[in-house]
């Protein structure tokens, strides 16, 4: 965990859930350069598969500006070729198996012939 970076304890918890389920997420929020040149950070990513989980919290998204900014960011990620799934604290506590199943389903559908996403510098 000392080499892992996260923007929130929720992101750490999601990475722990995925690692406990045998998955290997990227060690920090993944910096991705969108087709329009804007760099966004995907909360928990699997760059080899172009799959990411966005950690959606009421505390951070209770204000209009971050709420709207994240929706734009998510749209940019999808336009850039990412498959997204969303997680909430409530679901992490009540349905961790469902969160694992969601991301596993996206990983299973990944185009393995596609080169992995490279982090934006």
- Residue 56 belongs to a domain with what CATH number? 3.40.960.10
Is 112 part of any domain? no
Structure confidence at residue 4 (pLDDT): 54
Question: Residues with Cβ < 8 Å from 71, sequence gap 6 or more?
Answer: none
Q: Computed from CA positions of residues 112, 82, 30, 10, in that sequence, does the dihedral angle turn out positive or negative? A: negative
Number of domains in the chain: 1
Name the pTM for this structure: 0.86
Q: How far apart are CA 36 and CA 19, in angstroms?
A: 32
**Two tokens, residue 34:** 């969108």
Give me the pLDDT at residue 66, please: 74
In a domain, 26, yes or no: yes
Residue 80 half-sphere exposure, CB side, CA atoms within 13 Å? 29
Distance between CA 65 and CA 87 in Å, rounded?
A: 20
Please report where in the chains the tokens 């990983």 appear, as a residue. 107
pLDDT at 1 over 50: no
Checking if the pLDDT of 36 tops 80, the result is: yes
């Amino acid at each position: 965990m000392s080499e892992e970076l996260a923007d929130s304890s929720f992101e750490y918890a999601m990475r722990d859930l995925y690692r406990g389920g045998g998955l290997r997420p990227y060690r920090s929020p993944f910096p991705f350069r969108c087709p329009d040149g804007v760099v966004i950070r995907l909360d928990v990513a699997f760059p080899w598969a172009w799959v990411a989980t966005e950690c959606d919290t009421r505390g951070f998204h209770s204000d209009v500006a971050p709420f709207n900014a994240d929706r734009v960011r998510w749209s940019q990620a999808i336009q850039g070729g990412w498959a997204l799934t969303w997680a909430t604290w409530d679901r992490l506590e009540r349905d961790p198996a469902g969160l694992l199943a969601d991301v596993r389903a996206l990983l299973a559908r990944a185009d393995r012939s596609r080169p992995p996403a490279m982090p934006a510098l």
